[in-house]
Structure 1
Amino acid sequence: MKRNYCLSLVLLALFGMAAPYSVNAAENVPSSQSTQQAKKITGKVVDAAGEPIIGASVLVKGSGTGAVTDIDGRFSVEAPVGSTLEVSFIGYKSVTIKVTNATAYNVTLQDDSQALDEVVVTAMGIKKERKALGYSMEDVKSDELMKVKTANPISSLSGKVAGVNITQSSGAAGAGAQIILRGGTSGSEGKDNQPLFVVDGLIYDNSSSVIGNSAFDGSTRSASTTSNRLMDINPEDIESMSVLKGPAAAALYGSRAANGVILITTKQGKEGMVEVNINSKFTSSWVKDLPKVQTEYARGFMEDLYGANKEYTGTSFNDFAYTSWGERTNAKTYDNIGDFFQTGNVFDESASVSGGSKNSKFYLSGSFYDQAGVVPETGYRKYAFRFNGEQKVGIFTFNASAAYSDAHTDRTLTGAGLYGSSGNGALYGVYNWSPFDDMTRYLNEDGSRYRMFGDRLDPWEEHDNPYWIVNKNRIFDDTDRFTGMVSLKADITKWWFLSYKIGLDQYTQTASNRLAANGVLKQVWQNGMMSDNTMRFRYMSHDFMSNMSKRFGDFDLNLLLGATIDETKTDRVSMMAYNFTVPDFFSYANAKDAEKRFSHGASKKRLVGLFGEFRASWNNMLYLTVSGRNDWTSTLPIENRSYFYPSVSGSFVFTEMLHKLGWMSDSVLNFGKIRASWAKVGKDTGAYETATALWPVGAFLNGLVGAGNTWTRGNPYLKPEMTKSTEIGVELSFFKNRLHIDYAYYTNDSYNQILSPRGPQSTGYIFCSINAGNVYNKGMELSISGIPVQTKDLSWEVGFNMAGNRGTLDGLPDGMDVMYVTDVQYAGAQAASFNGGDFMAIAGTKWKRNEDGKLILDENGMPTYDSALSAVGNREAKFTGGLNNTLTWKGFTFNMLWEFRVGGDVINGTRYAMDNSGVSRFSGDVRNRPLTVEGVDAEGNAVSHTWEADKTYVFNGVEKSGYNIIKDYYQTYYPKNTRNYITEVNSLRLRSVSLSYDFPKKWLQRVGFVKRASVSVAATNLLLFTNYDGDPEVAAAGAGVGGSSSVGFDYCGVPATSGMSFGLNLTF
């Protein structure tokens, strides 16, 4: 059954008393007597299964009048006897009817076996027939996106499109998501591996960068989760999302689209009466897969005691420690982890008004999203408004759109904590707090901070209580964003149009910190600290296009020519003050001038491009597309700033030939196409990387204003990164489009990488930009969709997709064996790319082994290790995919989405931290079990050592308890083999399940003013089957640090959440 639920022009059906006149798609009804007197004609349009077709067009031929069928498939028009009615709808064969004396007609439309002639929107907004595409492209419509609505449109694609890898950074309120198509192409820190986002033809910034200054505010921004800016869009405004995966699909967008493109089309008004839509949704969420803790051993440690003559006298319990390697106890325990998290909730309200006439259309919407996070005192709140309008005057079509959003996020420190102090983030504290200490006790009766060890430690040497952090230390950001676009199209002739478009995307984001006095801060911050880091982003584009299309016999030709000018500006201001005169009064006027910091930076980037595309097709069978683009960028040196890149793609619809020759019936294989493409795409770099920048220096010049070089040396010889891509694929449709198969194989070779490796400090710099290295990706994608069951009342649609990608790096210069994506380490490991190895590798340390693989032990019998980092894992999954099922029965629609993952390593930094602190269940289990280590000594002799907790041994020349030797092993030696904390993950996840009900039209007619109404219930992340100890969908640093660098690193973050939502949708 095919329905169009996005129709806004609905006419009420009027039923005549005459018996209905039935018409089949293959019939032409003979004419009866003719008259010029128009009369009212009513009827109903249904499909072959008898289901009403909504939005079918019923036109009175030659008169310019007509109607559109309503939700029950009914229509009403005025037409004279003898006239002709034309009935049509996308995906069905059109029908013509001669009007006789009958006043009612039932029309049955038959499926069009060539339904794959569907027109889709491709690069630069150009519409093409899907069968003409020589590359992979997938669409996700609004009804699919909204089955389980999420605040982040990126997350709505998860599990639905082959080759699209999405990682939700955490379960925190307002947390962003990372998206990569067909593997990353850039290997250096700060380089962007995400696709280009284009909203209604306007390039839309999706940055998730950490806004802050670590030298000022203690790295508080990189220790909290961040949003990605696509969250500024109201998902209810989205009509469809189209994924252009390969460079051939996206080449017209230039250097920004080397990683693919995601086209977002927002809703437009429809011709007809004004329609009002209201959506209301409530969601409740809770954390899942929390770490397990031991409840046998107290906080503290067992101290080895020695007499006056250094003789060993035994052990004594000492509670002066935050770790939990103390004595066995039966004291009361507290569920500090479980009690810390709260039930989160979301109130999501939106409304829209749309409508239009033959020449005018409009769409206006507003929404409010309010989320309370599962971490206390955290949340995300957003207001969003949008206007889309269109006006036609003669040969001109004028379009305008404007959108405004205001978002506020309250965050908390997660794992890393504050720079320059012993404090840690709230979540690190939660996971590592002793279960024998009540974590809710963070204040004294007088409101001052409770100090666990009193005056035995200086305040800045302690660990902050997580409740102090979330209640006293505020970390928040505000983002105001405006996007606007104005375009003018002139249809010079039927085959030639010109268009001009100007677009603007600008936002101001302020990230703020307020750290209370007397907390665990740097010593100089003991009276508090505040900072505000503001970035102003402004992008403006101008696009001009000329598009000519002509048909010559069996040939269809199209020529597209265009030019674009883009300009991007950023302005950053960082301010910080500390050691306030009046504690906890956060004002820059409350600090002395010597205890304030200020920083300012700005950048400007311009790109000019000329592009062209030639398309040719023959007999609806053979299709060829050739394109080329030349960019001039301001970020590269003059001799290298101009670069050209071409692409070519083609497709052959072989079933068209087979059917015309009579060699094959379309009853089994009704559509078959093979496609191939090749493309070369350039990519520039960030502003000012060709020159060595200056920054202000004052502290080293007795407070005088001065300037010095930054720590990155510019390179005046940089060249653009280039990517060569090939793709071959096949599409098959069987049984009148009841079964569809799409397979693609691709390769991407990205060379001339712009990297920023560390250099010798003797040069006076830390980093230097160079061209070096090739990133090579190859993979496959498979999509299978079908309709196993379709009857009048019941339909079952199934969609399956899977993809696999392997990314490698080679071509690094001599002496450079590894490229670290970021300096940030988790559990002693880093994200890295090794020369000749995996692109998404994990760098860590290893135990030393001999040629036979046996451990090499030291004189104490402990494993030795190699301190140099080497490849210990690969974060890239071998295969990912999803299975989507939709069952529709009468007014009910049930949907279930499963996701799976095969392979790919995740490092469990949370367990690493909990093992070290002695609170993990693993650390509790191993400390009273004998520890046996086998291997060889330095001479290669086989050795074996066993230690028991209740015995003593000579260790490093002195007696030591077996308990402490076991403790040292798991705190010091065990973590040196990074693989001990790495899991090759396999998982199966029930991503979402939903049930909705559309109320029957006859029920709504009793109300009178409600056209459509539905209710829904949905759940997310209810089930997870995995071999990983936790949820493997992790990105420790959020969506904003180092591109994909933190994917696969799990370190004391906000755990994933499950949720249940209830929704109501009304249309008036």
Structure 2
Amino acid sequence: MNVKKALFASSLFLCGVGVLPVTAGLPVAHDESEISSPMPEQQKKKRTITGNVTDGFTGEPLIGVSIMLKGSSDGTTTDLDGNFSLSIPVKAQLEFSYIGYKKQVLDVTDLVVANVKLESDNEMLAEVVVVGAGTQKKVSVTGAITSVKGTELHAPSSSLTSNFAGKLAGVIAVATDGEPGTSSNFYIRGIGTFGGRATPLILLDGVEISSGDLNRIPPESIESFSILKDASATAIYGARGANGVMLVTTKIGTENTKASINVTVENSFLKPVNEVGYVDGARWMEIYNEAQLARTPNATPKYSQERIDYTRSGINPYVYPDVDWYDLVFKESTMNQRANVNIMGGGPKVSYYMSLQANHDTGLLDIPKAYSFDNNINKWGYTFQNNIAYKVTPTTRIDLRMNAQIGNNKGPNASVSDIFYQVYNNNPVTFPAYFPAEPGDKHIKYGNAILSGTSLYTNPYQYMLGSYKEVNYSMLNTSIYINQNLDFVTKGLKIIALVNWKSWSETSYIRWLDPYWYRADSKSWSPDNPGEYTLERLNSSGSEYISQSGIGRGADNTFYFHGQLNYENTFGEDHGVTAMLMYMQREYRNDVLPNRNQGLSGRLTYAFQQKYLAEFNFGYNGTERLDKGKRFEFFPAMSLGWVVSSEKFWQPIEKYVDYFKLRGSYGLVGSDETGSYDGAAHFLYVNNVNLGGGGSYSTGPTYSSIYKKGPSINSYAVQNAHWERVKKMDIGVDMT
């Protein structure tokens, strides 16, 4: 290494590498006029700035970097350790340039020490991909990983997960609800499990979050978004990697940069693209009769021609209704608002990123102000991201990352999907939405009809209007990272520790009115007096007073810890090695007994000339759900890669395909969440017994034995239960 530095220094002396032959700290004059010209007062005052220049990815010191005082011929170069020293004016900008790296301009107004990281100007070599518990250069990745920047997920919507479709290869996004702010369901390469959770594991800065938490993160705060698909990419998560992993990394500030403030304000217009078209009431009855006669030609049509004619003429819309339920319940369009303010920057020791987002979503429901509550959809959500990094010593860095989400949701005590179902499930001619109010009325006279016996239809208008629900939620996710460089032990060694606390809580309540149901007596109606009709009461349970529930509460909290030992080094020009060993433990509590996981994971990679790549991953994970002796499982994975475009025989077609890599992987991943959503007990190896007694119950192997009293079995212990194991093989090609 010393020989290499000496040769590099000699080459600088011989060819200059594009830098001026100057002595550090001493300005060079090119002519006498430049020496004798008067200098501004602020240029006469000088101070000395020192610093270090390193590779932005490897952290290796860069030798011979050209450092110039912008707008001047003064400058210097870095020494064999990447250090420099330069005398500069009070207010100045330094320009750093180096062959193979992007130029960087640094404002050094009040800096005494400036440590600079230069990025490679080769996009493929410079691009860094977030992988499981770390990062790798994209050129050396052998697993199936898709990575995008947060800006690519930007769309005029407060729902981040609704923007996944078509932007992340291998991700299937399904919107199951049109209600604003609702998160989509998404799957990586389909469903890879026969039971339990089929959605991927989601990690925000290394900490697990829910799809709802992810849905409310603004794209402005996301630095990168990585999808881990195959076994080699997900094996280190073992217990949680069977369905793929999503890694979300938020932005951090940059050292020695001015504060940068970014503001986004959006007002979006929302209008359904494909609306359902409904026929009018008269045509509906004609089609119904046609369908009836097609089945039974001799049948008597349900709707008489007289009723069809009266409905078409609109002679009395309460006796012969013709209701367009969709037009009555839904608006043609709505508007939503979103605002984001973020600031980032940093000094020589502290860097920061802070973001505040506000979302205001309204829906397409067209609800009039009929009661003291307004149950139109009205959702406010606030997301705060605060990332601070502090360099305690040149080798020690502490990061504090906090994501807070607060929201208030108001609307009917029914989902929009349910309301839409009632809209299309009701025909337009059976009953009107409501009858006109008369003097002295203290309640709304909703229309209805007898379905069968004493059962009535569901009136979509009342179903939407008659209830109100308010939900308030808050989530706080706080993490502390400690990154200690151990170069003093051996070069390339570092230790990282992460401690995380996550807390979520929600309160809700509902209000409602029992409706009054009426129908018009068609027998009392006469075409001679088309505006007159008699109302008939259909129920006796209506109320003029609002009923209200108690406060419903829900909460959970999570504690997570992991510590990892990383090693990265190059040997000579050809050999590159990285290694990682990580221990983790997690406790999730939403009941008396917590859910716990524990595991040990590792990764080893080797690259020869950045052409021939190999990687081995493993996860040794444990779960409390299984019996002793079966709680821990080993999940290994292996991957290989060949950068074909680096071979000499590729040169003739390099101008057409400048990068081409073959890769393949095979491994085992698992899941301990089998049966989590089908009523199974958390502890699969014990009987779930109900000792409450009272009332009859069924028991026995087939639940066919019926008894009146005594303990009952809610679920039987699963004998010899073990991990769900998923074998994954992947063959891929990367090319540009």
Calculate the TM-score normalised by the size of structure 1. Answer: 0.50
Distance in 2 of aligned mates of 1:110 and 1:265 = 19
The partner residue of 2:130 within 121, 129, 153 is: 121
Q: Structure 2: any 5+ residue segments left out of the alignment?
A: 1-14, 31-47, 55-67, 79-93, 106-117, 290-297, 315-321, 367-375, 518-538, 677-681, 697-708
Query: Which residue identity is paired with 2:585?
Result: I
Aligned 1:650-1049 pairs, distance under 5 A: 650-658=640-648, 664=652, 666-685=654-673, 686=676, 687-694=682-689, 697=692, 700=695, 708-709=711-712, 711-732=714-735, 740=736
Query: Which residue identity is paired with 1:153?
Result: L
Distance in 2 of aligned mates of 1:713 and 1:131 = 51
Distance in 2 of aligned mates of 1:29 and 1:650 = 40
Structure with larger Rg: 2
Per-residue deviation, 1:129: 1.2
SS class of match (1:337) = helix
Please state if 1:154 is matched with 2:161.
yes
Distance in 1 of aligned mates of 2:435 and 2:74 = 84
The partner residue of 1:290 within 272, 275, 287 is: 275
Query: Which residue identity is paired with 1:182?
Result: R
Per-residue deviation, 1:89: 8.5
Per-residue deviation, 1:406: 1.4
Query: Which residue identity is paired with 2:131?
Result: T
Per-residue deviation, 1:435: 3.4
Identity of aligned residues (%): 20
The partner residue of 2:456 within 437, 462, 473 is: 462
SS class of match (1:689) = coil
Distance in 2 of aligned mates of 1:235 and 1:149 = 11
Is the 1:152–1:235 Cα contact (8 Å) retained in structure 2?
Answer: no
The partner residue of 1:232 within 216, 224, 233 is: 216
Per-residue deviation, 1:177: 0.3
Distance in 1 of aligned mates of 2:636 and 2:299 = 80
Please state if 1:555 is matched with 2:537.
no
Is the 1:298–1:326 Cα contact (8 Å) retained in structure 2?
Answer: no
Per-residue deviation, 1:341: 1.1
Is the 2:689–2:714 Cα contact (8 Å) retained in structure 1?
Answer: no
Query: Which residue identity is paired with 1:165?
Result: I
Tell me the residue number matched to 2:350.
360
Tell me the residue number matched to 1:280.
265
Aligned 1:48-197 pairs, distance under 5 A: 63-64=50-51, 76=70, 80=74, 87-88=96-97, 115-124=124-133, 126-146=134-154, 148-188=155-195, 191-197=196-202
Query: Which residue identity is paired with 1:606?
Result: R
Distance in 1 of aligned mates of 2:324 and 2:69 = 64
Distance 1:288 1:115, change over 3 A: closer
Distance in 2 of aligned mates of 1:119 and 1:698 = 61
Is the 1:164–1:179 Cα contact (8 Å) retained in structure 2?
Answer: yes
Tell me the residue number matched to 1:607.
597
Is the 2:177–2:416 Cα contact (8 Å) retained in structure 1?
Answer: no
Distance in 1 of aligned mates of 2:199 and 2:119 = 42
Query: Which residue identity is paired with 2:384?
Result: F
Distance in 1 of aligned mates of 2:666 and 2:566 = 23
The partner residue of 1:504 within 501, 504, 520 is: 501
Deviations 1:965-998 (A, max 9, x none): xxxxxxxxxxxxxxxxxxxxxxxxxxxxxxxxxx
RMSD of aligned residue pairs (Cα, Å):
4.2
Per-residue deviation, 1:241: 1.1
Query: Which residue identity is paired with 1:399?
Result: D
Please state if 1:431 is matched with 2:424.
yes
Tell me the residue number matched to 1:246.
230
Per-residue deviation, 1:444: 4.0
Tell me the residue number matched to 1:331.
313
Distance 1:695 1:150, change over 3 A: farther
Tell me the residue number matched to 2:399.
399
Deviations 1:158-212 (A, max 9, x none): 1112211101123212222010111102233xx2111111111111122xxxxxx
Is the 1:497–1:546 Cα contact (8 Å) retained in structure 2?
Answer: yes
Distance 1:397 1:444, change over 3 A: same
Is the 1:298–1:327 Cα contact (8 Å) retained in structure 2?
Answer: no
Per-residue deviation, 1:452: 2.8
The partner residue of 1:618 within 608, 611, 617 is: 608
Distance in 2 of aligned mates of 1:448 and 1:246 = 61
Distance 1:437 1:650, change over 3 A: same
Distance in 2 of aligned mates of 1:90 and 1:348 = 43
The partner residue of 1:537 within 556, 569, 591 is: 556
Distance in 2 of aligned mates of 1:278 and 1:267 = 16
Distance in 2 of aligned mates of 1:689 and 1:614 = 34
Is the 2:666–2:727 Cα contact (8 Å) retained in structure 1?
Answer: yes
Please state if 1:495 is matched with 2:477.
no
Per-residue deviation, 1:83: 5.2
Distance in 1 of aligned mates of 2:630 and 2:70 = 65
Per-residue deviation, 1:151: 1.7
Distance in 2 of aligned mates of 1:35 and 1:551 = 31
Query: Which residue identity is paired with 2:237?
Result: Y
SS class of match (1:430) = helix
Distance 1:452 1:700, change over 3 A: same
Distance in 2 of aligned mates of 1:334 and 1:443 = 15
Is the 1:426–1:465 Cα contact (8 Å) retained in structure 2?
Answer: no
Per-residue deviation, 1:347: 1.6
Distance 1:327 1:407, change over 3 A: same
Distance in 1 of aligned mates of 2:437 and 2:691 = 44
Distance in 2 of aligned mates of 1:31 and 1:270 = 28
Distance 1:33 1:665, change over 3 A: same
Distance in 1 of aligned mates of 2:413 and 2:242 = 34
Higher RCO structure, 1 or 2 (CA under 8 Å, sep 6+)? 1
Is the 1:167–1:178 Cα contact (8 Å) retained in structure 2?
Answer: yes
Tell me the residue number matched to 1:752.
none
Please state if 1:568 is matched with 2:583.
no
Tell me the residue number matched to 2:61.
none
Is the 2:149–2:223 Cα contact (8 Å) retained in structure 1?
Answer: yes
Distance 1:258 1:90, change over 3 A: farther
Deviations 1:901-928 (A, max 9, x none): xxxxxxxxxxxxxxxxxxxxxxxxxxxx
Which structure carries more strand by proportion?
1
Please state if 1:201 is matched with 2:211.
no
Per-residue deviation, 1:427: 2.0
Deviations 1:603-629 (A, max 9, x none): 521111011211111111111111211
Tell me the residue number matched to 1:835.
none
Distance 1:524 1:635, change over 3 A: farther
Q: Structure 1: any 5+ residue segments left out of the alignment?
A: 1-25, 42-60, 68-73, 97-108, 207-227, 303-311, 320-324, 418-424, 572-601, 733-739, 741-1068
Distance 1:267 1:416, change over 3 A: closer
Query: Which residue identity is paired with 1:427?
Result: F
Calculate the TM-score normalised by the size of structure 2. Answer: 0.71
